[in-house]
Structure 1
Amino acid sequence: MQSISLLPNSSNVDSNTGSKSEPLRAQFWSRFALTELNHSEWEALCDGCGSCCLIKYIDEDENGNVDEELVEYTDVTCQLMDCATGYCSHYATRQEYVPDCIQLTMDNLPNMMWLPSHCAYKRLYKGQSLPSWHLLLTQDAVVTQHEMRAANVGVAGRCVSETSMSDEEMETRVINWINP
């Protein structure tokens, strides 16, 4: 499971890392390669959908390659997910609670094509544009949330926690509202 934060807060200190935030350059997502982004810009790409935190079934071939068409998402999420809001309850310290939580980086992104098709990281990596509803484009969180819901994007209100759930029960909770 992996968790990625939303846009950094507006102060000079990033609440997720405790470090000083770097400024977002104008239209950085279209002007710079992913490898050229600063930490704040990288974090700002996240749309906050929470899909990456859902438990999924990923089959790898003998070379470790994943056929993204065969990835199956469940509606079961990491124990840290607040299913009402769709946000991680302990983002900054999540690996203390969930040691195998994956930190999405430019180095591991090429091996994570199981991310949903609307994911800004995946889209930019593949040379595609941001979804029209992305906060970086709308500049309005309310509009973005409304358009994400209209596009059937996000786990808020439609996920359940992995807490006290058996592996057998999880296997019955495969969903089809996320496309890798």
Structure 2
Amino acid sequence: MSDEAIPWWNAKPLEALSPEEWELLCDGCGRCCLHKLRDPDDGSLAFTAVACRLLDSETIRCRDYARRHARVPDCVRLTPQVVREADWLPPTCAYRLRAEGKALPWWHPLVSGDPASVVRAGVSVRGRIVPEREAEALEDHVVAWPGRWPKAAKRTEGAARVVLRRRASSV
């Protein structure tokens, strides 16, 4: 494959992305918007199903993206350096994958051309979250799935298309 055939999102290092390209790299899964807990004794990380108060549970988009850092002071601004140092980004995160030198998976909207592929692959948090205002204690909502690759997301592109066609024809 020649360099010209490699898409920009796989060819460019994170530092070389324009602000627009940086934003396009986000797959919109919402996993980074889930609260995480860090054990003070051993530093281990636990994901929760509790979403940031600004995450819209239907669209899985921030309700106030432009002012999110002012409204939620502990909202982390992702930069190439933060991405490389953060152990809390899910393994499916496009920023993390690119920082590790890996290509984007078949279900990423830049690859598939379809934002709904993130939902079909089981990567999106849609339908799996607890709104922050409804969660009394974060410890009561610890889950493992945000730190794992969903089975459907692990499939190759061709296998995923076959599975999706079978599902569509059985409906």
Q: What is the TM-score of this pair, normalised by structure 1?
A: 0.71
Counterpart position of 1:55: 35
CA shift digits 1:6-44 (9 cap, x unpaired): xxxxxxxxxxxxxxxxxxxx8211221111111111111
Stretches of structure 1 lacking an aligned partner (at least 5 in a row): 1-25
Higher fraction of helix = 2
The alpha carbon displacement at 1:61 in A equals 8.0
Aligned partners of 2:83 and 2:89 also within 8 Å:
no
What percent identity do the matched residue pairs reach? 40
Give the Cα separation in 2 of the matches to 1:114 and 1:93.
22
Aligned partners of 2:27 and 2:109 also within 8 Å:
yes
Equivalences for 1:1-180 in 2 at 5 Å? Answer: 27-59=7-39, 70-141=44-115, 145=116, 147-163=117-133, 165-166=135-136, 169-179=137-147
The alpha carbon displacement at 1:84 in A equals 2.2
Give the Cα separation in 1 of the matches to 2:99 and 2:41.
22
Secondary structure in 1 matching 2:9: helix
Counterpart position of 1:16: none
Summarize the Cα distance change of 1:59–1:170 in structure 2 as closer, same or farther, 3 Å threshold: closer
The alpha carbon displacement at 1:107 in A equals 2.2
The alpha carbon displacement at 1:60 in A equals 7.1
Q: What is the TM-score of this pair, normalised by structure 2?
A: 0.75
Q: Find runs of 4+ consecutive structure 1 residues off by over 2 angstroms.
A: 58-62, 147-151
Stretches of structure 2 lacking an aligned partner (at least 5 in a row): 1-5, 149-171
RMSD, matched Cα: 2.1
Give the Cα separation in 1 of the matches to 2:120 and 2:144.
16
Larger Rg computed on CA atoms: 2
Kindly tell me the number of residue pairs found equivalent between the two proteins. 143
After alignment, is 29-38 or 157-166 more displaced? 157-166
